[in-house]
Structure 1
Amino acid sequence: MTLPLQYLRSILYTVQIYIAMLLFGIVFAPYALLSKNGARQACKTYARWAIWSARWMVGIRCEVRGPVPQGEVIVAAKHQSFLDIMIIFNALPQAKFIMKRELMWTPVIGIYAKRLGCIPVDRGRRGAAIAKMVKDVAREFTEPGQLVIYPQGTRVAPGATVPYKSGIGVLYDALKQPCVPVATNVGLLWPRTGILRKPGLGVVEFLDPIAPGADRAGFMAGLEAQIEARSDALMAELGFGTDGLHHHD
């Protein structure tokens, strides 16, 4: 397929998923306002649409590997693009996300995030933000579910080095739940910036859970090592870093 044609397909795909977000948001609104389950089904329907339409519009096939957690766990995920959010949310039975506070004020996304019990975090306030996050998580966990957090705090381009933040360690200590690391390679196909979507197999992989009770430093080091090594391996499946070096932006 020629590059100009793939750009055109990428533009059309991007336009339609934003239109679909608005349409799904409006159609499901009465159901979502009546129940959290309604909001969850709306978001799962949208996620499935985004995944399905990516396959035939831009050639991105999506695959979930590893055992998908079902109970109360922390899910610590590598975050490379919008697509990994969709795949993880669609795979988990009752996901709720820790997300930057600004997103809670966006149309459609913000309304549904609040209904799902997602936890807003003010990234500029550091210690105070972490303390409030732990308090908010404890309040929201009156219902069982999987709490998804991005340990690096933002989308990270393939090969870029961004430190893992302390918030995941604080949550691990406070909640005393297993933590499931998640690796991905989708940023190679759906980049953090830019419009071009590239065909290929995008993978999200749930790794072996880390049992509660480890010391925080050991937990943080082990989590980062697992996620980064497995993400590198998944990216290598798409030919990234075959020279043995990370490629930076």
Structure 2
Amino acid sequence: MTAIMTALRSFAFMLIFYSGSLLFVLAAMLVGGLHPDMVPRIATAWSRFHRGCARWILGQTVVVDGDLPLGPYLYIIKHESMFETIDMLCLFDRPVIGAKRELLDIPLWGLIARRYGLIPIERSAGASALRALRSAARAATEQGRAICLFPEGTRVPHGEAPPLKSGFAGLYSLLGLPVVPIAVDSGRVSPRGRFMKRAGTITYKVGAIVPTGLDRKEAERIVHAAINALNPRRP
């Protein structure tokens, strides 16, 4: 019976969330051309809609373990599921999220993402691309917007701890911002690539702030340990 209920909930979530998402995309397309400042508001409403669907359809609740500091920080987040990519807009006020440039080339979605202010991340960024990234990040912090990055580059199964992409150390030095590492265990209830999504609690665990000026390898070591703090302990 539990498996049947999980399947029914997962199907209902897919039907309602993706149908509703289409309406948000259309709204952003129609309104964004005339009033670009409305795009972040529509995106935030979409994120809240997503969290509501997760809560009331799937039975997933969200807990933040620790104090989440707000300010000019670089937030580095564990990436296990689609959940946190959308939920960032519930955690922060109009956050700027680093995304692979290929995602910004997707028709319709890419246009809205650019209007929202996502920062394109080049996998092999040259000097000019890094300068553009720094300028975009500075503009975001001047507006009081959080900068969020997923340093693993892609979603990873819960419990796995791959090394951070080499770009993190470069961004840490380039942006000159203290880092707030955040662990998340969304993959326990919403595994990557799985239709079945289970009820349960999704936890964000906020790590200690990593100051600027550390050796790049040391900063990487601290952040890697912090974002994997919710992984099962190995014997």
TM-score with structure 1 setting the length:
0.85
Once the two structures are TM-superposed, the CA of residue 160 in structure 1 deviates from its matched residue by 2.1
- Per the alignment, residue 136 of structure 1 pairs with 132
Deviation track 1:119-173 (CA, whole Å, cap 9, x = no partner) reads 22343xx3xx264552232221323222111111111111223211121111111
Q: Is the 8 A contact 2:50 2:87 kept in 1?
A: no
The 1:119/1:112 distance shift into structure 2, 3 A limit, reads same
1:141-160 maps to which residues of 2 (within 5 A)?
141-144=138-141, 145-160=145-160
Structure 1 stretches of 4+ moved >4 Å? 130-133
Distance in 1 between the 2:34 and 2:96 partners? Answer: 18
- Per the alignment, residue 231 of structure 1 pairs with 230
Unaligned runs of at least 5 residues, structure 2: none
- Per the alignment, residue 81 of structure 2 pairs with 81
Once the two structures are TM-superposed, the CA of residue 224 in structure 1 deviates from its matched residue by 0.8
Distance in 2 between the 1:208 and 1:121 partners? Answer: 25
The 1:131/1:36 distance shift into structure 2, 3 A limit, reads farther
Amino acid in the other structure paired with 1:165: K
Distance in 1 between the 2:209 and 2:37 partners? Answer: 27
Once the two structures are TM-superposed, the CA of residue 108 in structure 1 deviates from its matched residue by 4.3
Unaligned runs of at least 5 residues, structure 1: 233-240
TM-score with structure 2 setting the length:
0.89
1:201-240 maps to which residues of 2 (within 5 A)?
201-228=201-228, 230-232=229-231
Amino acid in the other structure paired with 2:116: L
Q: Is the 8 A contact 1:130 1:167 kept in 2?
A: no
Percent same amino acid among aligned pairs?
27
- Per the alignment, residue 196 of structure 1 pairs with 196
Task: Please give the secondary structure, in 2, of the residue aligned with 1:231.
Answer: coil
Q: Is the 8 A contact 1:119 1:133 kept in 2?
A: no
